[in-house]
A and B are shown apart, each in its own frame.
Chain A
Amino acid sequence: MQHTITTLVENKPGVLARVSGLFARRGFNIESLAVSITEDPTVSRMTIVVEGDDAVLEQITKQLNKLVDVIKVVDYQGIPIVHRELAMIKVNAEPSARAEIMQIVDVFRAKIIDISDKTFTIEVTGSVDKVDAMERLLEAYGIRELVRTGRIAMMRGARTP
C-alpha cells in the first residue's frame, strides 16, 4: 500500500543523504521525495511516498526516528490530508493541434507557461491522478520532456504534525 510520510529534519548538510541512504540500504522503495525548508528555517521537511505493508512502514518510521537529525516522522495513513504534485510538460504543439491542447489545459486548470514555434510548456498542479491523466492525454501529441516534483502534503484543518 502507498503511504505518504512527512519527516521534519534538522536543516543541516548531509541530512538528505542520511535519509535516502537509509531507504536504500534497508531496501525500502521511495516512490517520490520532496524536500524544502519550512516556516522554521532550522527545520526542513521531507515528504516521502513509499510502498509497503504495515510491518515495512513500522520499520521505516522507526529507523527514520533513529537518525539523530530527524525530529519527527508522521505517517499520514488514515489522516485526512490535502496533497499536491506539480508537473511541467513540454509537448509538441503544431499549429493544427494548438487549439485542442489549449482546451485540455483549460479543463485541467493548468497553465501554458512557455511557447515556442513547435512546443508548449504546460504547468499542471494537482493530485497524482490528475497529473497522470493530463500526461496521458498529452501523450498523443508527443511529450518531449516531463518533470514532476513528487508529492507534498498537509493535514486538513488546523492540525500540524
Chain B
Amino acid sequence: MKLTGAQALIKSLKREGVEVIFGFPGGVVLPIYDCLYDCKAIRHILVRHEQGAAHAADGYARATGKVGVCLATSGPGATNLVTGIANAYMDSIPIVAITGQVRTTVLGKDAFQEADITGITMPITKHNFLLKNSKDVPEVVAEAFHIAGTGRPGPVLIDIPMDVSLGQLDYKPIKSVEIPSYKPTTTGHPLQIKKAAKAIAAAERPVFYVGGGAITSGASPELVELSERTHILVATTLLGKGAIPETHPHSLGMLGMHGTAYANYAVAHCDLLIAVGARFDDRVTGKLDAFAKKAKVIHIDIDPAEIGKTVHVDIPIVGDCRTILRQLLEHVEPRQETEWNEQIMRWRKEYPLQYGSGAALYPQYVIEQIWEVTGGDAIIATGVGQHQMWAAQFYKCRYPRQFLSSGGLGTMGYGLPAGIGAQIGRPDKIVFVIDGDGSIQMNIQEVMTAVMHKVPVKVAIMNNQYLGMVRQWQELFWNRRYSGVDISAQPDFVKLAEAYGAVGMRVEKKSQVADALKKSLEYKDKPVLIDFRIEREENVFPMIPAGQSIEEMMVHRPK
C-alpha cells in the first residue's frame, strides 16, 4: 500500500492503540495535521501552549498506564515541549513526542523554525529519532512506543522533517519490534529472591519504601498481600502514593522531606529497608550517611543503574517490581505483628499530621474536604509547591494512578494540563487539580483547552498570594527576607475563569468550602476554578531541611 510518511505515521499510531493526541499545529507538521483532519479514531486535543501538550500526554499516561502522545511543530513548538519531556523523563513516564522538522535538504542550515530538537532532548529522553527516510516511519514509530512503554518507561521523541512526511513509502505494518541492544530484565534472579526472603525472615524492624516503579509495574496487589502477610508497614514516595491504599492500616503515608514523622522515624530506625521501585532521591533521603543507617537494604528496581547509585545496597534485585514481588510471595513466610509495629503506631499517635484548628481557612482543611466530597475516589493532579505537599499529606489515595504530581523535576504548572490529560483518559473519574496561585499561572492558558474540549476538571487554587514554598524557606532559613515571592498582584481568578468560559468561584471561609466543592461536581461539561483564599503564611510540616537528617526534622512550626 502506497502511503505518504504522514499517513503512515497516523496508521502506525492507530496500530499502537493511540486514541488521543495533545498537540499544536505549525508549518512543517501540516502534512500530519491534514491526515488528522479525516482521522476518526484519534482525537486531537488542541492545547494553547506546547508545554501543556507534553504535560497533558504525561497526565494521560500516568492516569491510564498507556503511552501518552503529544505533537508539535519544529523550532519553538519543539522547544516548548522540552520542560514537559524533561518532567516525564525524571518521573519515568512513557510519552511519545512527535515534532515536525524542516526539510532534510535544509537541515543544519538555520532554516526558518529550525531547532536541533534531537540534540536538545538527548539528555532528557530515553531515546530519540531523527527520521531521514519516509520508509522508516512505521518501524520507528513501533520502536518508539516499545522503548517508551517497556523497561523503565520514559519519553521518546520522533523528529519528522516535512519532506519525510510528504514522501511516499510502501507501507507494511510492523508486527513485532526487535532491538538487539535493548533487552530490559524483568524477572528477578532466583538467588537474590531467596536472599531477600531470608533477610525479611531475619529482620526485626523491617519497613517498605515504595516508589513510582510499583505504580508503573502494577505491583499494588502483590505489595498489599506481602505487607499483610508479613505485617511490614509501607511508606511511599510522592510518586508511590496509592501503591497501597493510604486508608490501609499498614500505610505510613509519604516519607521524606515533607513526609509523615512516623514514616521517617520508621525508616530511620529500621534494620531492613525494602525499596521497591524507588531511587533514593535526595528529597527522600536527606543527608545520605544518616539515612536508614542501621538498615540492610534490599533494592528492587528495573533499572540496574539505580542500584548503588546513591546508597549502598546489600541485596539488589533487578527486574519488574510486580514480577519480583510475585516471586517473593512464593518464598516469604508469614510474620506476626511485633513490638516494632507497636513502636511505629506509638510514633503515629504521638506525631500525627496536623494543622490549625481555628476559624481560618487552612489549605489542609480544603484538601480533606475535597477527599470527603469525592469519597477519596478523585484523581488528583497537582502543581509544585506547598499545595502539592499538603495534597500529598492530606489526600489519602485509595488506588494506584490516582495521584499525578511532578516529582523529580518539580515543574510548576504541571497540574492543570496533567489534569486535563488525566480527565480525557479517565472520563469515568472526577479529576481535581490542586494547585497554587503561583503554579496555576504557569499554564493558566490551558483553561481554554479544557473549555473548548468540554473537560470537566475541577481546579482548586490554594491561593495565599505568595510563592509559598519559597516563602516558607525564606521564613525558616533566610531570616524572613521575602525576596521575590509576593504575588498579591494577581488576576481575579473568578473573573478569569469566566472570561475563558469556565465556572469561577471564590471561597474565603471555612464554612463555604464543602458547598463550593459539591457545587463544582455538578458541572459535567466545563471546568470549574475555585479560588480558595487560604491562610497566607501557613507552612508545610513536618519538614526535614534539605540535605539534613531526621534529627533536624521540624514536626511543627519552630517557636
Contact = CB atoms under 8 A, between A and B. Distances in A.
A59 B306 CA distance: 9
A18 B122 CA distance: 7
B127 A68 contact: yes
Contacts of A10: 181
Binding site of A, secondary structure by majority: helix, strand, loop or mixed? Answer: helix
A68 B123 CA distance: 13
A63 B122 contact: no
Contacts of A22: 123
Nearest to B126: A68
A76 B179 CA distance: 26
Contacts of A107: none
B154 to A, nearest CB: 10
A41 interface: no
Contacts of B304: 62, 65
A58 B308 contact: yes
Contacts of B308: 55, 58
B309 A59 contact: yes
Interface residues of B, number: 18
A66 interface: yes
Contacts of B118: 14
Interface string B137-181: 000000000010000000000000000000000000000000111
A70 to B, nearest CB: 6
B491 interface: no
A66 B179 contact: no
A161 interface: no
Contacts of A71: 180-181
Given A58-B308, A59-B305, A63-B305, A68 B122 contact: no
A69 B303 contact: no
Nearest to B128: A14
Interface in B181-198: 181-182
Contacts of A21: 122-123
Nearest to B156: A68
A25 interface: yes
A59 B179 CA distance: 23
Nearest to A8: B181
Given A68-B181, A69-B181, A17 B309 contact: no
A143 to B, nearest CB: 36
Contacts of A66: 303, 305
Which of B179, B182, B303: most chain A Cβ within 10 A? Answer: B182
Interface string B101-128: 0000000000000000011001100110
B181 A17 contact: no
Nearest to A24: B123
B130 A14 contact: yes
A67 B130 CA distance: 16
Nearest to B124: A25
A69 B118 CA distance: 14
Contacts of B130: 13-14
Interface in A21-37: 21-22, 25
Given A17-B119, A25-B123, A68 B305 contact: no
Interface string A55-88: 1001100110111111100000000000000000
Given A10-B181, A18-B122, A21-B122, A68 B147 contact: yes
A70 B126 CA distance: 13
A120 to B, nearest CB: 40
Contact of B179 (A14, A58, A63, A68): A68
A67 B127 CA distance: 7
B305 A17 contact: no
A22 B123 CA distance: 7
Nearest to A18: B122
Contacts of A63: 305
A68 B179 CA distance: 8
A7 to B, nearest CB: 11
B438 to A, nearest CB: 29
Interface in B295-318: 303-305, 307-309
Given A14-B130, A21-B123, A62 B181 contact: no
Which of B127, B180, B305, B309: most chain A Cβ within 10 A? Answer: B305
9 contacts: A14-B122, A17-B119, A17-B122, A25-B123, A55-B308, A59-B305, A63-B305, A67-B127, A71-B180
Among all A-B residue pairs, the 5 with the closest Cβ atoms: A62-B305, A68-B127, A71-B181, A68-B182, A62-B304
Interface of A: 9-10, 13-14, 17-18, 21-22, 25, 55, 58-59, 62-63, 65-71
Given A59-B305, A66-B303, 4 more contacts: A17-B122, A22-B123, A62-B305, A71-B180
